[in-house]
Structure 1
Amino acid sequence: MMHPFAYASASDADQAVAVVSADPNASFLAGGTTQLDLMKDGVLNPERLIDITGLPLGGITHTDSAIRVGALTTMEELAADAVVGERLPFIREALLLGASTQLRNMATIGGNLLQRARCRYFRDPTVAACNKRNPGSGCAAIKGIQRMHAILGTSDHCIALHASDVAVPLTALDAIVHVQGADGPRSIPLTQFYLPPGDTPHVENVLRHGELITAIEIPLLPEGARSHYIKVRDRVSYEFALTSAGVALVIEDGVIQEARVALGGVGTIPWRAWGAEDVLRGARADAGVFRSAAEAALEGARPLPGTAFKVELAKRTLVRTLDTVAGALS
């Protein structure tokens, strides 16, 4: 049952930040598609919610090199943007595969980046052992049902998966998260935004309490680049990824000049496959290189019995995505 809480609607961003920063038991409320579920389940129990949906933090602006997306822009609005469809198609694909139409019209881009783990043990407060929910209590998933958990970036304290689809191509693109806090604004590269669990799984990102995401800056791919997002899941309709891959390539005369690769469904954070990119750059776009890139992408994986299948599945997902993108460029 949801605990009682106070509710207020923010009139401006400075006010919202000031109120939440001053109260450790306060939280922002935007689309609420994950937050309210967790409150109903008793996983989150904020004493005060500050509704930011009336703030002017929506909309998409374009430059020659990037787009700036207000944090309150919905998933559906971003997916419908013409520049995204033309220059960043793997972002559009990830958005459309990430949620139903109803949810895409409610869920915000800022909220999507902050969605919490889909671990069944984290989301069940009757399970005592969850370091993400109760630091120091243990991790029930390590000896429990592991199928939907991570194999990259895990620790002995947590194997919970980061579930966002759109965060995968955004990570590949070196997107920048702009935030406003009590100490002023700052900009954080998405590749530095998320924190692997280590021995503090409850600390999921570098945001300070009271900091508000205001916008996400997304660099455009160069002219001639192609991209694709593939999501492998148990069913086609509304399901989270077992594995996914977001790939962008620039190929000239059969040689890969630029490569951006990130994986989903396998990491405790959206997983930038730096090793795969190193293999791809300067190499011929062929099956052997793609397989070598996939091997590099999964280097360091720590599967458990219930997630061992993900190692090969993730490699095949990446190879298929690379082959699809290279085929579109041929």
Structure 2
Amino acid sequence: MIEIIQTGPFNTVQDLGRPGFRNIGVTTSGAMDPLALKIGNSLLGNESGAAALEIQTYPFKLRFSKATAFAVTGADCGASIGGRTIQPCCALSVEAGQVLELGQPRVGTRAYICITGGIDVAPVMGSRSTSLRGAFGGREGRHLMTGDTLQLGEVSNPLNLPAAGLSVVDPTYALAEVYPAPQDGVLLVRAIPAGEHALFGADAERFWSQTWKISTQSDRTGYRLMGDPIKPTTPVEMRSHGVVSGVVQVPPSGEPIIQMADANTAGGYPKIAGVIEADLWRLGQARIGSRLRFVRVTHAQAAEVEKAVTGFVEDVRLTSRMVCGALQAMS
């Protein structure tokens, strides 16, 4: 069990979400940075989608009520255990009573605390993710509060982690060949033209060429972008239709909205593009005010990026098993 000692709004329990219910108006939810969640769980030997804590307001503190192991991934927030600073993307064993602290992020926005066995809250529609809009899932459908206690899942064969912990290279660097570095501070986000792309005429090219800024009107539902407005060549009225995370819609204001983890299930705004799934985690770590530019890619190129990311996560899992297995054999 763990106890929340200090927290703020919007810190929640998340896993990889609850797909398959958008037809009845239920958002997928899940981690804004699913790659960080998968890395943390893979380091610990959990299922990749085991529930964890998504932290986006700081400082944050929790106390472990029993000996276990954990990993902090995602944002580099100067995490410490018992006052000792720990490296990002590092799995460590912890004793009962020790306190984990997270400070303001130096890099990124959201940190993920993965714990051996995962956070054991009641699943709703096959997922433990919190839907704040729907007020269900996670911890009673709400954000975490000081004094909350959370149970952990049972573990039959816990990993024998090294005393100094087990770290992996941050995916930003480990996957540098497939993730373009920011250019003059501008995040490059890959996307594929969507259904109504042609309706925007010359403005469609301005969508790709200009630099956008994430506005303060952004949250887990969607990121509204600021820049020179883009509009269809002629007014268009559309019936509401299904949308998913990554879809970029353009409302009458001409400022695009990127649907995020708590994406609306339907909408009537024209779709100009869709961010590739493998790039959504980078948006999940982007701060309000960040600048970005869209890079046009093909489905085949998107599949190559996804393949590289999947291979990295699997490498993390295999490395963790190999190192911990070797230690177990030596003990």
Do the two structures share a fold, i.e. TM-score over 0.5? no
Q: Which has the higher strand share?
A: 2
Range of TM-score over shorter length: under 0.3
Higher relative contact order (CA 8 A, sep 6+): 2
